[in-house]
Chain A
Amino acid sequence: MRVLLQPVAFALAALLAAGAVPPLAQTQGNPDVADGVVHVQPVAANIYMLVGAGANVTVQVGNTGVLLVDTGLSTMSDKVLAVVHTLSDKPIRYIIDTTDDPDHIGGNESIAKTGSTITGGNVVGDIGASAGDTAAIVSFQTVLDRMSAPTGKQPPSPQGAWPTDAYENPQKSFWFNGDSIRIFHQPGHTDGDSMVYFRRADVVSSGDIFRTDSYPVIDLDRGGSIQGIIDGLNHLLDLTIPADDKSKDEGGTMVIPGHGRLCDQADVVVYQEMVTIIRDRVQDMVNRGLTLEQVRAARPTQDYDPLYGTNTGPWTTDMFVEAVYRSLSAKH
């Protein structure tokens, strides 16, 4: 045995000495691309994920036209449109907004006006034929409420960016490009979030309920909550089924997160377990009467900070911990 192992150890040592560094380190880490280019990641036969325009954009193409889930930043609209046109020469018919954040809805106006809605029947019948001049924009009602304003007031978004079809029930469904599109109201990041499930293609666009590049952003002022995020992740687990072929226990239902890389159920499990464990820890501290400062000092996210934490930028670890604390202590 010693005779066998010595040359093995010798060869291994030589190889390691020659290059004991991870040769692909640059390809790992935060997958949000900020190189000014909109990248295309194929997801299913007729579904693509666009990366680099702000939030991830989902593109479904087919004979009837193009459907987008979210539109990215306003500054990236031209590039998003250019990429969409490489995927389909059909008109953009639908835009579904998963939330009202600027990096999700920024392209609404400029992208919608290049598309058109098939009108007639009871579709936009009360508005008139001009409503068919743009793509329809679908969202939960509170997204429209926040983007618009009462008559006489200055709205935060131009009218052309507003949702034209706001729903108020727990879900909305329609058929498009040979697939059933199911939109679920899934509050968590805010109170107006939606998840979009392409049933036949077996793809879910999760919006910011799920992301791989940071802790979940919980906007308490807009009705977000940690429990909403967890409920959304549990719903996502219910919707997803991994494949069981030579790609064992992976693939199957694919998940396009609000930000970050393409995922499947196993990736959602990692995130759901992380959020739930941190919720349990902070809940325990709230129950024991700890103050926010004491909770922060206890570092309830320490084990996940290398993956999701940051001390800079728009959503720091401290902000996440504070949001969880206030969400659970109902002091917001």
Chain B
Amino acid sequence: MANAQGLKVLGLSLLLVVLLSHPVFAQTDPSGEWENRFHEDEPERVPGPEIGDYLGLPINDAARLRGDSWVATLLELPENQCRPHPSDYAWRGPALLRIWKEADPETQRLIAYHTHISWQSPEQTIYMDGRPHPPAYAAHTWQGFSTGKWQGDVLEVTTDHLKEGWIRRNGIPRSDRATVNTYLMRHGDSLTVAVVIFDPAYLTEPFIRTTDFVSAPQQAIAPYPCESVDEVNRPPGAVPNHLPGTNPFLNEFPAAYGIPPEAARGGAETMYPEYRVKLKTMKTLPRPTGKHIDR
């Protein structure tokens, strides 16, 4: 029996090796029209994250202070109104997605995959021709510079040269020093995109997040022009921010959800299942009353 079990494990291992190391006919083309499903992480993605909710993020103190200082009215500043989501976050937003191939017209060799996402219409190019990444002094972009390679039937994308972006839309930053590995995994009419962010400035561990799409061949993506306007009259150069220790909203999230305030501050340990044991020993704030905050 033990031998049979061992052979079974060996067989499965060999199968996995074959699946992951046979790049030619194992590739699963992610091209097509895709739409996302917002029931996945809906509270964070649709109404938007709560102020002060850093739960599950492997952030350091510097990132925490960036979040505490953040004021949503920053987004009203004309220079911030038309920012697209950077490529590591764009999958999370209103993301009607198109992916298509670019082939060399003479050799039909694959040069790149391109993505187009509906909100703000950002386009990412994933070079498949083995070209090197630009030098450190080259410009950074919202979508970054990306190269791809096949790991079995998974398209692995490596991105750098990103502009500073965000990990959670409540002020938690992702720095322009970050590199991102993205994995596109297609299973028929489903596409899973896993994003792994390595940020030496603001993360103590890699941050991993998946987003799912379904095929939508009937989909038509509208254009998304954007023109900034003066929404609020402010003195020139004003940058809304909370001074350290003065953000009055930080306890609203942990109080409303019955979460210990310390846990809401995030950190690597809050990512792991073992943290649930510790949670039970931590104090929570009194929950406010009222129907609108029944959660």
Contacts and interface: CB of A to CB of B under 8 A. Distances in A.
Interface of A: 4, 7-8, 11-12, 14-16, 18, 20-25, 27-33, 39, 41, 49, 51, 230-231, 233-234, 237, 242, 244, 246-251, 254, 260-267, 269-270, 272-273, 276-277, 280-281, 284, 298, 300, 302-307
Nearest to A303: B65
Interface string B199-238: 0111000101010000000000000011000000000111
A303 B171 CA distance: 12
Contact of A16 (B63, B79, B84, B196): B196
B177 A29 contact: yes
Contacts of A233: 237
Nearest to A26: B136
Nearest to B187: A4
Contacts of B142: 248-250, 266
25 contacts: A4-B190, A11-B20, A14-B16, A15-B20, A15-B151, A16-B208, A21-B198, A22-B181, A22-B198, A24-B158, A33-B135, A51-B137, A230-B237, A231-B237, A244-B225, A248-B226, A249-B120, A265-B79, A266-B142, A267-B164, A270-B176, A272-B237, A277-B241, A303-B66, A304-B62
B69 interface: yes
Contacts of B169: none
Interface string B272-285: 00000000000000
Contacts of B74: 273
A11 B160 CA distance: 23
A182 to B, nearest CB: 20
A28 B160 contact: yes
A234 B137 contact: no
B62 A20 contact: no
Contact of B62 (A24, A33, A303): A303
Contacts of A302: 61-62, 65
A132 to B, nearest CB: 35
A226 to B, nearest CB: 12
Given A12-B194, A20-B196, A267-B163, A247 B236 contact: no
Given A4-B190, A280-B243, A302-B61, A266 B163 contact: yes
A8 B190 CA distance: 11
Nearest to B163: A266
B225 A270 contact: no
A244 B202 CA distance: 29
A261 B137 contact: yes
A24 B192 contact: no
A11 B183 CA distance: 10
B124 to A, nearest CB: 10
B152 interface: yes
A11 B20 CA distance: 8
A248 B82 contact: yes
A277 B239 contact: yes
Contact of B179 (A24, A41, A231, A246): A24
Interface string B128-153: 00000111111111100000000110
Contacts of A264: 139
A251 B84 CA distance: 13
Nearest to B65: A303
Contact of B236 (A234, A280, A281): A234
**Which of A4, A32, A281, A307 neighbours the largest number of chain B CB atoms within 10 Å of its CB?**
A307
Contacts of B177: 28-29, 307
B69 A303 contact: yes
B175 A29 contact: no
Size category of the B interface is 35 or more
A306 B120 contact: no
Nearest to A305: B62
Contacts of A234: 236-237
B83 interface: yes
A233 B65 CA distance: 23
Contacts of A246: 121, 123
Given A11-B183, A22-B181, A284-B243, 6 more contacts: A4-B190, A8-B185, A8-B210, A231-B237, A261-B139, A261-B140
A312 B214 CA distance: 52
Nearest to B202: A306
6 nearest A-B pairs in the assembled complex, by CB-CB distance:
A22-B198, A306-B201, A303-B65, A31-B136, A22-B179, A234-B237
A37 to B, nearest CB: 11
B137 A260 contact: yes
Contact of A273 (B136, B192, B239): B239
B60 to A, nearest CB: 8
B259 interface: no
Contacts of A280: 239, 241, 243
A307 B175 contact: yes
B83 A266 contact: yes
Contacts of A248: 82, 84, 120-123, 142, 226
Nearest to A306: B201
Contacts of A12: 154, 183, 185, 194, 210
Interface string B81-125: 011100000000000000000000000000000000000111100
B40 to A, nearest CB: 11
Contacts of A49: 137
Nearest to B136: A31
A303 B243 CA distance: 12
B87 to A, nearest CB: 11
Q: Which of B65, B134, B178 has the most CB of A within 10 A?
A: B65
B25 to A, nearest CB: 17
B6 interface: no
A14 B136 contact: no
Interface in B153-189: 154, 156, 158, 160, 163-164, 175-179, 181, 183, 185, 187
